[in-house]
Amino acid sequence: MSDNESWIAIKNGDKEAFTEMYKAYYQFLFVTGFRKYANKELVKDCVHEMFLELWNRRKLLPEVQHVGFYLKTYLIRKIIKELARENQCNGATKEEEDTVAIEHSYEDLMIQLQSKEEMKQKVQRAIHQLSKREVEVIRMKFFENRTYEEIATLTSATPRTIYNHVYNALKILRKSLNVFLVTCMACLQ
């Protein structure tokens, strides 16, 4: 069943379609909300409340062309309203809200830049583990989109030799980069 068919089914009270949509979109919505607001509990609560509101108001739901975009927009608006409500309860001023938003965005930017730089350095270290021939073959294969036969002709080697160079280079890169990714994942948990 497509998203649009599921949407119509939900509007008609189909609990199974609702459950499937929840399962299909929960992770996407959580990640989207968390990336923007970095408050795990708030985002989780808003996602759950959003789906509850959708179910309770299912007969009033509008026709939508892109269910994912609708849900994402709904969630972001819900989070913004919740943050505004919390700020009113805490007595925060508009200036304080703007400062927090700017600081949060700056922190996110710095983390992203640092992560990109770390990944770039890791890729460079992994590439330095390759022989000059392997680097050359990888460049031709993946950046110039050449076939094994074309590379073999250009380098005066057999296609099988080129295939072996690509295989060995990818094995080295995969091993080096997987260690990095596993380390990153461990740090996030």
Report the interhelical angle of 67-90 vs 15-37 (nearest 10°).
60
pLDDT at 186 over 50: no
The tokens 């996030």 sit on which residue?
188
**pLDDT at position 101 over 90:** no
Pinpoint the residues of the chain covered by CATH 1.10.10.10.
116-189
pLDDT confidence band for 31 (50 / 70 / 90): confident
Residue with the larger pLDDT of the pair 9 and 177: 9
Residue 154 tokens, joined: 């250009």
CATH 1.10.287.90 fits 116-189, yes or no: no
Q: What would the two tokens of residue 122 be?
A: 């890791």
CATH 2.60.40.1260 fits 1-92, yes or no: no
| 46 CB-contact burial (10 Å; exposed 0-12 / middle 13-18 / buried 19+) | buried
Q: What is the 8-class DSSP label of residue 64?
A: -
What stretch(es) of the chain map to CATH 1.10.1740.10?
1-92
* Ramachandran angles phi, psi of 122, nearest 5°: -65, -40
pTM: predicted TM-score of the whole model, two decimal places: 0.47
pLDDT in tens, 46-81: 999 999 999 999 888 888 888 888 898 899 889 888
Q: What percent of the chain has pLDDT over 90?
A: 30
pLDDT band at 99 (very low <50, low <70, confident <90, very high): very low
Tokens of 42: 């708030």
Confidence check: pLDDT of 179 > 70: no
